[in-house]
Homo-oligomer: A and B are copies of this chain.
Amino acid sequence: MSKLVIVGTVAFDAIETPFGKTEKILGGAATYIGLAASQFKVKGAIVSIVGGDFPKEDLKMLESKGMDLSGLEIVEEGKTFFWSGRYHNDMNTRDTLITDLNVLADFDPQVPQEYTDAEVVMLGNLHPLVQLSVLEQMVSPNLIVLDTMNFWMDSALDDLQKVIGKVDVVTINDEEARQLSGEYSLVKAAQKIMQMGPDYVVIKKGEHGALLFGEDDVFFAPAMPLREVFDPTGAGDTFAGGFTGYLAKTGNFSFENMKNAVINGSALASFCVEKFGPERLLNLSGKEMFQRIQQFKSLTQFDIKLT
Contact = CB atoms under 8 A, between A and B. Distances in A.
Interface of A: 89-90, 184-188, 205, 208-209, 211, 217-222, 225-229, 256, 259-260, 262-264, 290, 293-294, 297-304, 306
Contacts of A294: 306
A85 to B, nearest CB: 19
A262 to B, nearest CB: 8
Contacts of A300: 219-220, 300-302
Given A260-B302, A297-B304, 11 more contacts: A185-B229, A205-B208, A208-B208, A209-B209, A209-B222, A263-B304, A293-B306, A294-B306, A297-B302, A300-B300, A301-B301
A220 B225 contact: yes
A95 to B, nearest CB: 19
A206 B229 CA distance: 21
A290 B90 CA distance: 38
A293 B300 CA distance: 14
A89 B185 CA distance: 11
B219 A302 contact: yes
B185 A263 contact: no
A221 B209 CA distance: 11
Of the candidates A186, A208, A211, A228, the one having the most CB atoms from chain B within 10 angstroms of its own CB is A208
Contact of A90 (B184, B259, B298, B306): B184
Shortest 4 CB-CB distances between A and B: which pairs?
A208-B208, A220-B222, A259-B302, A260-B304
Contacts of A221: 302
B260 A188 contact: no
Contacts of A264: 304
Contacts of A184: 89-90
A51 to B, nearest CB: 38
Contacts of A262: 302
B306 A290 contact: yes
Contacts of A227: 185, 187-188
Contacts of A297: 302, 304
Nearest to A18: B184
13 contacts: A89-B184, A186-B225, A209-B209, A218-B225, A219-B302, A220-B222, A256-B303, A260-B302, A260-B304, A264-B304, A294-B306, A300-B301, A301-B301
Contacts of A185: 226-229
